Amino acid sequence: MIRVNGSDSDVRPGETLEALLQRLDVSPQGRGVAVAVDGEVVPREQWRTYPLADDARVEVLSAMQGG
């Protein structure tokens, strides 16, 4: 089971980070977006080909401005 932002998901093993971001309606080219898998930040240039393992924990983070 792949967990995304702390919740169970229907993401299948082998799906790429880029495909996951598209499902979440997050632009892979968007500024202020970071992705970590199992606690390690994955460089943006790897998102297109980075496959997710069956037990992966994925966190998609977006920078927010405010105060």
Kindly report, residue by residue over 4-39, the tens digit of the pLDDT.
999 999 999 999 999 999 999 998 888 899 999 999
| Main-chain phi, psi angles of 17, to 5 degrees | -60, -40
Say if pTM beats, i.e. exceeds, 0.95. no
Fold of 3-62: Ubiquitin-like (UB roll) (3.10.20)
Q: Where are the domains of the chain?
A: 3-62
Pairwise pLDDT comparison (62 vs 19), residue with the higher score:
19
pLDDT at 63: 84
pLDDT at 41: 97
pLDDT at 64: 76
Strands (E), the chain: 3-4, 7-8, 33-37, 40-41, 57-62
